[in-house]
Structure 1
Amino acid sequence: MGTRQASADDLASVGLSVLRSALATNIVWIGALKFKQYEVENDEPLVTSSPLISRFREKLGAQKLSRLIGVTELIVGSLIAGKPLAPRASAIGSLGAVGMFLTTLSFLATTPKARQEGQGIVSLSLLGQFLLKDTVLLGAALLTAADSLHAARHR
Structure 2
Amino acid sequence: MKKILTFLANGQSYFINISRVAVLIVMVWIGGLKAYQYEADGIVPFVANSPFMSFMYNKKAPEYKEFKNPEGKTVQKNIDWHKENGTYIFAYGLGTVIVIIGLFTFLGIWFDKIGLLGGLLTFGMSLVTLSFLITTPEVYVPDLGGDFPTPQFGFPYLSGAGRLVLKDVIMMAVGLICASDCAKRILQKQYRNSPLA
Q: What TM-score do you get using the length of structure 1 for normalisation?
A: 0.90
Correspondence for 2:87: 62
Correspondence for 2:10: 10
Moved more, 21-30 or 103-112: 21-30
Unaligned runs of 5+ in 2: 60-84, 144-152, 190-197
Moved more, 41-50 or 58-67: 58-67
Between the aligned partners of 1:131 and 1:150, the Cα distance in structure 2 is: 30
Correspondence for 2:63: none
Q: Identity, % of aligned pairs?
A: 29
Query: Which residue identity is paired with 2:174?
Result: A
Between the aligned partners of 1:21 and 1:63, the Cα distance in structure 2 is: 28
Q: What TM-score do you get using the length of structure 2 for normalisation?
A: 0.72
Secondary structure of the 1:97 match is helix
Moved more, 80-89 or 54-63: 54-63
- CA radius of gyration, larger in: 2
Correspondence for 2:185: 151
Correspondence for 2:168: 134
Between the aligned partners of 1:33 and 1:120, the Cα distance in structure 2 is: 29
Count of residue correspondences = 154
Cα pair 2:17 2:109 within 8 Å, conserved: no
Between the aligned partners of 1:83 and 1:120, the Cα distance in structure 2 is: 40
Between the aligned partners of 1:123 and 1:4, the Cα distance in structure 2 is: 39
Between the aligned partners of 1:153 and 1:143, the Cα distance in structure 2 is: 15
Q: Which structure is higher in helix share? A: 1
- What is the Cα deviation at residue 86 of structure 1? 1.5
Correspondence for 1:29: 29
CA RMSD across the alignment:
2.0
Query: Which residue identity is paired with 1:124?
Result: L
Between the aligned partners of 2:137 and 2:92, the Cα distance in structure 1 is: 24
Q: Deviations over 1:9-66 (max 9, x none)?
A: 3232232121111012211221111111111111111111112211112398111111
Query: Which residue identity is paired with 2:119?
Result: S
- What is the Cα deviation at residue 120 of structure 1? 3.0
Secondary structure of the 1:58 match is coil
Q: Deviations over 1:78-115 (max 9, x none)?
A: 11111233111111011111111101100111110100
